[in-house]
Amino acid sequence: SMATALETGIFAYDDVYDCQHYFTEIPGTQLKDWTLDKDVAPSGMLTLQEGLMRSCNPWFYRIGMELYRQNRTNDLSNMARAFGLGSLTGIEGVSEEPGNIPNPTDELDNARIAIGQSQVLVNPLQVARFVAAVGNGGTLYRPQVIEKITDPDGNASFTFEPEAQSTLPVKPENLALIQEAMRWVVSSSRG
């Protein structure tokens, strides 16, 4: 969702949002932040990067809502698919389900898609794969279970080479902002 927000130019990394327990910007709807159920104080004013670091649901509900309102209705879903979500990874010898990345039906649905809810279904391998792509600079690789085949003495008789499948459609400067925010998750006391 952050990649979509940045790539569309509708949001900037230093835009701020007041992350409270509830998101009420969609008429007739009240969506919750995780902090409410955990009995934690609301996160308050956060930049977009801090919103990712803090996992502020309302920040991302807002992104989904605003993208829909600006006629960028399928941008979140298309970006999720480009990150390898909702499709088979191509791993050999392991059965997997593709999951589902739906196109939104309205702004509320898109707000929910922005935090991985609605009809979004992904498998853990898809998530590990896209996080690895974020970390490695943007390349989605086909997951593999076997690195090499060796004889009893440890000499490799066959080595499996990594197979790049695609590249994340994110500008290097935006990918760097996402990487930095993800590092903050573990390095900041608020992460």
| pLDDT string in tens for the chain (191-residue length) | 999 999 999 999 999 999 999 999 999 999 999 999 999 999 999 999 999 999 999 999 999 999 999 999 999 999 999 999 999 999 988 899 999 999 999 999 999 999 999 999 999 999 999 999 999 999 999 999 888 899 999 999 889 899 999 999 999 999 999 999 999 999 999 99
The label of the residue with tokens 């409410």 reads 36
Rounded to 5 degrees, what angle do the CA atoms 72, 78, 80 make?
120
pLDDT of residue 93: 87
pLDDT of residue 14: 96
Please give the structure tokens belonging to residue 155: 């000499």
Contact 181, 49 (CB under 8 A): yes
- Give strand pairing partners of 2: none
